[in-house]
Structure 1
């Protein structure tokens, strides 16, 4: 048994790490901050940049290996510590399980919190209330509910297109644009679940329980054919096989994005409005998220 296979068996004792062990460059296991000595690690991290094509090979092998590959980015370019991955800044202390949560309820709560006219128990002033209204128009009456399944999606609630092919295409694009990305492996059924398994805490200023984020991403996997490909310190990159096809549909999807990650709209657009954000989603093969 190789050293790589031995390490991977600590990640997933019941899996089949031999399916990928021989593909891997040198790397090491990473544990969360709370793990005691001898506790099972949560992530395998390559020592150096991800070789071209490796993510795709690992992705194809996932059904057998049970190890979901992630492209991992550091907090800053040239970060020698490769935070948070190399420093183990991961935590499962407040994490539940994705199947504890109804994704629609998670999004409703996120929307209501981000559109509240009170902050810390104090009412916003009229100008702030007006600005908030402009941000979430045309949904001034409240949470519009999750968007209908994209027209043409295959099956009942399932996404059309080719989700796995879209994921591999995005991986190629991301690797071509960033030579410092490393490979991570997590014992999980999907990228959405991998976030909870490894204890990623990127949205901690907005949501402490990463399992809620995983629950929403799992729902998007089913409805839009998304796949989680890259994770940074507080960023996610998802491939999308069944994006909205027009601006009307995109507005409803934009509301979901806002409910999960309000910084995408408040800080990611010039005007901080859904109506500016939504057109970017029409036919988009990639969704990006960033939490302040």
Structure 2
């Protein structure tokens, strides 16, 4: 059976520093969603996970630069297997809560405001009926410059790509801070968060375009309470969403129920 890859142009092949074989190809502007979906449909046969916006040469080059930062490849995947993704997600949320209210008394108005933002029931009540929002019906992301390259990585799921090809997919995030429970957002956290969302919401690694991490979501939350839970997780993981979407209620109504999730760190 002919693969979609054979119909792409500018084929590149490369290998990461840990020996992960990579291949990429190019396609005409505007074809990104069609190409990604076709390659994603082939994953069960090829074992290759598609990621929009990257090339094999660029990804391999980044893997060599990453050697001074930390582990990657099979070693990093093995480290993540020792951690429960759900527990890590809960830890991230708890740590952000600690950071938000540190030094405050429970009677402080700001404490009460943060308390409401971290309470799924109250967020859901504020959001109300999700309705049929444009974001929820959206089939793709509106990029100023749509990607014309797709990287294929031998991975069982999208979260593994973040370990096999680090840095090319997500840059090191330095502007996130948490409380005593988890002061810094570690690179491993990205892998674990995506793995958790894969299981819970069917979120899949889609691309890294224009400085954003893009996920395609098969089973996004469809009711206010689930959307609220998801929005609290997303806002804790990437609180720069406040700059692009708004507060946790905006995330619950505009992004959590959508078929595309976008994350960007300033």
TM superposition score category, shorter chain reference: 0.5 to 0.7
Aligned residues between the structures = 229
CA deviation profile, 1:196-231 (whole Å, cap 9, x unmatched): 111134353246643432222222222212222112
Distance 2:29 2:229 in 1: 36
Give the corresponding residue for 2:244: 268
**CA offset at residue 58 of structure 1?**
1.7
1:54 aligned residue (35, 38, 42): 35
Query: Is 1:283 matched up with 2:257?
Result: yes
Give the corresponding residue for 1:99: 81
**CA offset at residue 68 of structure 1?**
0.5
Contact 1:42 1:198 survives alignment (8 Å): no
**CA offset at residue 88 of structure 1?**
2.6
SS at match of 1:40: coil
SS at match of 1:230: strand
SS at match of 1:115: helix
Higher relative contact order (CA 8 A, sep 6+): 2
**CA offset at residue 253 of structure 1?**
1.1
Distance 1:20 1:211 in 2: 31
Distance 1:179 1:220 in 2: 25
- Range with bigger deviation, 254-263 or 94-103: 94-103
**CA offset at residue 57 of structure 1?**
2.6
1:232 aligned residue (194, 197, 209): 209
Q: Which segments of 5 or more consecutive residues in structure 1 lack a partner in the other structure?
A: 1-15, 75-81, 145-165
Distance 1:84 1:57, change over 3 A: same
Distance 1:70 1:132 in 2: 40
Q: Which segments of 5 or more consecutive residues in structure 2 lack a partner in the other structure?
A: 122-135, 177-183
Contact 1:238 1:286 survives alignment (8 Å): yes
Which structure features the higher share of helix residues?
2
- 1:77-156 to structure 2, matched below 5 A, reads 85=59, 88=62, 91=66, 93-95=70-72, 96-97=76-77, 98-117=80-99, 131=110, 134-135=113-114, 137-139=116-118
Distance 2:235 2:209 in 1: 19
Give the TM-score, by structure 1 length: 0.62
Give the corresponding residue for 1:11: none
Give the TM-score, by structure 2 length: 0.67
